[in-house]
């Protein structure tokens, strides 16, 4: 299938891409008007509207009490609609940029996109900022490889890939680790910081698996960006695939194991948003397994549905629910369960993938389709929440990623 994709992509690019041109070098610095970009990052394309990933759920609610029997027959989800992910060229406007195949010149997969100092570097897709370097600390006398990028930004896209741009002249205000960005949002301005200070201004652009921020070798590039840059420049919305030889399990170096919270994940559907706070509803047939996304210790369990629609007490809205503190230090919450698994009580340690309960619609979800209300937060008050959507996308794709709490 990968060969078919590559052949199709090659045919597409051969038919659509025009002759390559590299922008003429101009030795200027960012103007005051360009600096205004840093005070108010803009969005070049509107945010993607995510299509709900599940349709055809049964409208009736079974009256029988589900159990944890391994012989239970579960209802299959009728259809699943893929999440729509938008991808655009990382330099805006694209006509201001020039680039060529760069793997041979770098010795690893990466592309240098040449443009005038101050040209906009934008997020190629929706995602969460994973790494930011606000200072150019590279010293040619020591040549630390981790600092060669100078001012730089990396994001983890909702497609599960990491996108990195370096040698910037400025990073946009508000671009910090943990901040969510949208496709086309300005991340910074093209420059020649780091080990590019004596070269023509350009953006070093790399695509890789998600990994820990100190892994500069992965960050600089693992997937050849060139064919995708051509496609995005020509308006084709193509998602880069991770090569088979790059194992997703190596995304986190022997720290924690993560799995999708509904098993099997093929029975689950979810989309971004739907709440006034960071949370995701994961729809699945009643009785589908809800599991621990990582190892940790159970913190709180609600075994009785005490929600009353007349009083609508928010403290009981979750119905049957389980909270646990992961060994990664984060708090995970799943609500609206139909059953709590036997032995799940405060103080019990659970392993990644261990069944905590079954999907249902207790609490204030009793008149909705069965689903899990899923949250990730800090372990202590004020329980700062982090958007679980990008982590869920990554876990379902087999990527072993630790969620990142927003900066305080």
Superfamily of domain 20-46+86-246 in the CATH hierarchy? Glucose Permease (Domain IIA) (2.70.70.10)
pLDDT of residue 160: 81
Question: Where do the H-state alpha helices sit in 220-306?
Answer: 226-233
Spatial separation of the C-alpha atoms in residues 332 and 297, rounded to whole Å = 10
Spatial separation of the C-alpha atoms in residues 204 and 171, rounded to whole Å = 14
Residue 341 per-residue DSSP state: P
Spatial separation of the C-alpha atoms in residues 365 and 391, rounded to whole Å = 23
Structure tokens at 23: 């922008």
359 exposure class (CB count in 10 Å sphere: 0-12, 13-18, 19+): buried
216 exposure class (CB count in 10 Å sphere: 0-12, 13-18, 19+): middle
The answer for residues whose C-beta is within 8 angstroms of residue 245's C-beta and 6 or more apart is: none
Spatial separation of the C-alpha atoms in residues 57 and 130, rounded to whole Å = 35
Spatial separation of the C-alpha atoms in residues 205 and 86, rounded to whole Å = 18
CB count within 10 Å of CB 16 equals 13
Long-range contacts of 68-76 (CB under 8 A, 24+ apart): 68/339, 68/341, 68/342, 68/355, 68/358, 72/287, 74/267, 74/285, 74/287, 74/288, 75/285, 75/286, 76/267, 76/285
The residue to which tokens 């969460």 are assigned: 128
pLDDT of residue 229: 92
Query: pLDDT per residue over 83-109, tens digit each?
Result: 457 899 999 999 999 998 877 778 888
Regions in the chain scoring below 70 on pLDDT: 1-84, 213, 242-255, 273, 406-408
pLDDT of residue 58: 36
Spatial separation of the C-alpha atoms in residues 337 and 76, rounded to whole Å = 18
Structure tokens at 358: 């079954």
State whether CATH 2.70.70.10 applies to domain 262-396.
Answer: yes
Structure tokens at 49: 């509207």
pLDDT of residue 253: 44
Using alpha carbons, select from 335, 331, 359, 197 the residue that is nearest to residue 263: 359
Evaluated on CA atoms 238, 245, 403, 299, the torsion sign reads positive
Alpha carbon dihedral 226, 253, 248, 151, in 10-degree steps, equals -30
- In the chain, which residues fall in CATH 2.70.70.10? 20-46+86-246, 262-396
Evaluated on CA atoms 15, 244, 394, 359, the torsion sign reads positive
Give yes or no for a cis peptide into 377 (omega within 30° of 0).
no
189 exposure class (CB count in 10 Å sphere: 0-12, 13-18, 19+): buried
pTM exceeds 0.85: no
DSSP bridge partners of 300: 323
pLDDT of residue 406: 67
> Which of helix, strand or coil describes residue 362?
coil
Question: Where do the H-state alpha helices sit in 220-341?
Answer: 226-233
Tell me the chain's radius of gyration from C-alpha atoms: 23
Residue 249 per-residue DSSP state: G
CB count within 10 Å of CB 84 equals 12
């Amino acid at each position: 299938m990968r060969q078919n994709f590559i052949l199709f992509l090659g045919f597409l690019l051969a038919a659509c891409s025009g002759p390559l041109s590299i922008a003429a070098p101009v030795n200027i610095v960012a103007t005051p008007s360009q600096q205004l970009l840093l005070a108010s990052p803009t969005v070049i394309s509107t945010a993607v509207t995510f299509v709900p990933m599940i349709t055809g759920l049964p409208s009736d609610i079974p009256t029988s009490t589900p159990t944890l029997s391994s012989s239970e027959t579960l209802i299959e989800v009728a259809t699943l609609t893929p999440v729509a992910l938008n991808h655009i060229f990382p330099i805006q406007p694209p006509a201001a940029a020039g680039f060529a195949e760069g793997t041979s010149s770098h010795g690893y997969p990466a592309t240098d996109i040449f443009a005038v100092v101050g040209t906009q570097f934008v997020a190629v897709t929706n995602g969460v900022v994973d790494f930011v370097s606000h200072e150019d600390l590279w010293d040619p006398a020591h040549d630390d490889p981790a600092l060669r990028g100078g001012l730089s930004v990396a994001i983890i896209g909702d497609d599960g890939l990491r996108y990195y741009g370096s040698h910037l002249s400025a990073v946009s205000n508000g671009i910090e680790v943990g901040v969510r960005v949208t496709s086309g949002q300005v991340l910074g301005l093209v420059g020649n910081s780091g080990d590019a200070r004596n070269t023509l201004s350009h953006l070093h652009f790399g695509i890789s698996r998600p990994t820990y921020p100190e892994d500069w070798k992965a960050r600089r590039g693992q997937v050849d960006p060139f064919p995708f840059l051509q496609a995005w420049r020509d308006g084709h919305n193509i998602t880069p695939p991770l090569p088979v030889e790059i194992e997703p399990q190596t995304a986190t170096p022997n720290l924690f194991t993560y799995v999708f919270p509904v098993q099997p994940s093929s029975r689950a559907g979810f989309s971004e948003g739907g709440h006034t706070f960071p949370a995701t509803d994961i729809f699945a047939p009643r009785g589908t397994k809800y599991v621990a996304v990582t190892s940790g210790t159970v913190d709180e369990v609600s075994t009785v549905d005490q929600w009353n629609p007349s009083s609508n007490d928010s403290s009981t809205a979750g119905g049957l629910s389980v909270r646990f503190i992961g060994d990664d230090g984060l708090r995970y919450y799943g609500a609206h369960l139909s059953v709590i698994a036997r032995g799940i009580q405060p103080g019990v340690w659970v392993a990644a993938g261990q069944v905590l309960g079954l999907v249902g619609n207790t609490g204030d979800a009793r008149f909705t389709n069965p689903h899990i209300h899923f949250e990730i937060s800090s372990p202590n008050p004020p329980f700062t929440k982090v958007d679980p959507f990008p982590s869920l996308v990554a876990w379902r794709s087999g990527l072993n990623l630790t969620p990142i709490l927003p900066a305080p």
